[in-house]
Each structure stands twice: as structure tokens, then as C-alpha cells.
């Protein structure tokens, strides 16, 4: 029974966390047809590229500061009810600009949502700005400069998501330098759709303290040893990995092998309704299918808090 366990997640994309019922309500409000990306109350996609398309379409249903406050509150209320004490949300100023809200109103709405839910449930949340790899290095540098200039105490990290198989990671090093120099925590998507070498490149060229996914490091024993040795934390999203076909099923998922190799691992929901999951379900899968004990699950929660992009006072309170 994992419902009562303390939980934390470091890897959830805000627009990937829209409950289908909320997407439908927003679509009705703005008079948008949903058949291209929804069927029978669920999101429809068939591969990573069409997933990104559905994600963009759902993002387009949130068009004001209030819409983003509502989305953030909806997500965090559910998470707090599932026993979570901390969440890091990946936010995408690019999506906000594309929909015409503007990055500042977007961040203001999300910040209001975070503060409202913290006041009623105590859950802590921070924003991690993502640059979109498939938009190219200039756009990712724009996102990094935006995050660096914001000086918002709730915006504490920088990340790169999007199509992992596009461009060389070296092309994005400057964006990460901008973010690191501004004091932001650094994480990057690697080793999900691309293999172990993408994790190695990320370590060499970006020097992150965490890696989004990183699970395909399991293909390279030397790399596993390096991750363990350097204490790099993996943001593991088993439900996402299985939904995208990175691994055929949960028994084949490498979470246990990563943990047994001494790599620091955490459990995360990624884009929960798109992958028919939730943070609670990830803990449930790790417990029932992968055989992690409650104590081991609590260690993953503690690992997440230790690796969180928060001030030391907040970290100490959460640990
Ligand atoms: C992603 Cl751009 C983006 N959005 C949501 N989930 C993702 N996973 C990788 N890239
Ligand atoms: Zn992700």
C-alpha cells in the first residue's frame, strides 16, 4: 500500500500534466475541436513525434495567467492528495510565447498556483525552465537567458527537453553555461530515446547534477559505475518509458538494475495523463511489479529531496 508513503518528484512537465477533463473544459471554453488529440476522454498519440504534437495542442488550450494558475493548482492539489511533499515542474516559456500569453504572465500564473496549494496543503514546488531541443540552440539559449534574468525564488533550475535525437548536445552547452552562471540547478533529458552515449555526452559537456531519464545508461556498465561514482541522480519515469516503448514492460524496466549498481534513482511521472500514469501509480508499480520495499521507496523520496533545486532551509525541512 503505497498511498500513505511520502512522495516527491523531480520530473513532470506542466503541460503534460493536464487532466483530460480539464483539457475538455478549456477546449469548450475557447471553442477548440479536440478530435485531433483526444478520443473518449484520453489523449491520442502513437509515437514520440505525435506525442509532442498532442502536447503542443493541449498547451494551446491555456491562454492566460489565470489558466496557468488553474492548471498548476489542479496538478498540485492531486499530487498533495497522493502524499507528495515536493514537486519540480518543468515549464516551457516557449509554449507560453507560442500561445500568446507571454512568458511573464505564464510564470506569474504558475507561481500563484504554487503558492495557493502550498498554503492549503504544505506541498512545496519549484519551477525548472525547459528549453526545447528541437527548436535549436538559439531558442534554448533564449530560454536560459529568460530563466537567468528572472531572479524568481520559485524558478530554480534549467533543463532541456524535446526531441533527444536532434542536434548534438555540444551545441547546447552555452545555454547551460548561462543557466549555471546564474546559479540555477542543471538537469537535462538524455538516455531515453537515445542510447548510453547521450548520457556520457551530457555528463562530459553539460555537467548536470541530475539527468532526466538516463535509463539507457544500463547499456554500458562503465557508465553505470561513473554515474554511481559521481552521485548523479536519475529522474526515472517507468510509466513514460513503457508507454513510449523504450522498454517492453515493467518487469523489463532497468530501475532495479540501476539502483543495484549504486546509481541514485528517483520516481517521476513525466507527462502523467499522456502516459496513463500518476506519481502514485509509479510508486505502486515500483512496489508491486519491481519489488521495492517501502523503505527503498522512501529512500527514493529522500534522494529526490536531496537532489531538489531548493534552498538548504527548505531541503532540511522536507528531509
Ligand atoms: C518533452 Cl518537450 C517535452 N514535453 C513533454 N515531455 C517531454 N519529454 C521529452 N521532451
Ligand atoms: Zn520529460
Interval 190-248: pLDDT, tens: 999 999 999 999 999 999 999 999 999 999 999 999 999 999 999 999 999 999 999 99
Q: Is 14 left (phi over 0), alpha (psi -120 to 50) or beta?
A: alpha
pLDDT of res. 221: 98
Please say if 65 is a catalytic residue: no
Domain ranges of the chain: 7-318
Q: Is the pLDDT of residue 1 over 70?
A: no
Ligand sitting nearest the alpha carbon of 10:
2
Superfamily, domain 7-318: Metal-dependent hydrolases (3.20.20.140)
Given a cut of 90, whether residue 304 has pLDDT beyond it is yes
Does 13 count as an annotated binding residue? yes
Annotated catalytic residue within 9, 73, 141, 192 = 192
Q: What Rg, from alpha-carbon coordinates, does the chain have?
A: 18
Q: Which atom of ligand 1 is nearest to the CA of 13?
A: 5
| Cα–chain center distance at 139 | 19
4 pLDDT band (50/70/90 cuts)?
confident
Per-residue pLDDT band for 44 (boundaries 50, 70, 90) equals very high
| pLDDT bucket at 2, cuts 50 / 70 / 90 | confident
Q: What is the predicted ipTM?
A: 0.94
Which residues have a Cβ under 8 Å from the Cβ of 266 and sit 6 or more positions away? 8, 9, 10, 11, 233, 234, 235, 236, 300, 301, 303, 304, 307
Q: What is the pLDDT of residues 55-106, one digit of tens each?
A: 999 999 999 999 999 999 999 999 999 999 999 999 999 999 999 999 999 9
Is residue 271 a known part of a binding site?
Answer: yes
The reported pLDDT for the residue numbered 3 is 78
Amino acid at each position: 500500500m503505497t498511498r500513505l508513503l511520502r512522495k516527491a518528484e523531480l520530473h513532470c512537465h506542466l503541460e503534460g500534466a493536464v487532466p483530460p477533463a480539464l483539457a475538455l473544459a478549456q477546449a469548450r471554453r475557447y471553442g477548440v475541436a479536440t478530435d485531433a488529440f483526444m478520443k473518449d476522454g484520453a489523449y491520442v498519440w502513437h509515437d514520440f513525434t505525435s506525442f509532442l504534437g498532442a502536447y503542443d495542442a493541449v498547451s494551446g488550450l491555456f491562454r492566460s495567467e489565470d489558466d496557468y494558475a488553474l492548471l498548476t493548482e489542479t496538478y498540485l492539489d492531486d499530487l498533495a492528495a497522493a502524499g507528495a511533499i515536493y514537486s519540480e515542474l518543468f515549464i516551457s516559456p516557449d509554449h507560453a510565447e507560442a500561445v500568446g500569453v507571454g512568458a511573464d504572465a505564464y510564470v506569474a500564473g504558475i507561481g500563484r498556483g504554487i503558492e495557493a496549494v502550498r498554503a492549503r496543503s504544505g506541498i512545496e514546488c519549484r519551477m525548472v525552465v525547459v528549453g526545447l531541443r528541437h527548436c535549436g540552440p538559439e531558442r534554448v539559449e533564449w530560454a536560459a537567458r529568460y530563466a537567468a534574468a528572472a531572479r524568481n525564488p520559485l524558478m530554480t533550475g534549467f533543463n532541456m527537453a524535446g526531441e533527444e535525437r536532434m542536434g548534438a548536445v555540444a551545441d547546447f552547452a552555452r545555454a547551460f553555461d548561462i543557466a549555471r552562471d546564474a546559479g540555477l540547478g542543471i538537469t537535462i533529458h538524455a538516455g531515453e530515446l537515445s542510447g548510453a552515449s547521450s548520457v556520457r555526452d551530457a555528463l562530459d559537456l553539460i555537467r548536470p547534477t541530475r539527468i532526466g531519464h538516463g535509463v539507457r545508461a544500463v547499456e554500458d556498465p562503465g557508465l553505470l559505475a561513473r554515474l554511481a561514482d559521481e552521485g548523479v541522480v536519475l529522474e526515472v519515469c517507468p510509466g513514460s518509458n513503457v508507454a513510449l516503448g523504450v522498454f517492453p514492460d515493467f518487469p523489463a524496466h532497468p530501475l532495479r538494475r540501476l539502483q543495484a549498481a549504486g546509481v541514485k534513482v528517483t520516481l517521476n511521472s513525466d507527462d502523467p495523463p499522456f502516459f496513463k500514469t500518476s506519481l502514485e501509480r509509479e510508486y505502486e508499480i515500483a512496489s508491486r511489479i519491481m519489488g521495492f520495499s517501502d523503505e527503498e521507496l522512501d529512500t527514493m523520496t529522500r534522494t529526490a529531496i536531496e537532489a531538489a533545486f531548493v534552498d538548504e532551509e527548505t531541503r532540511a525541512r522536507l528531509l
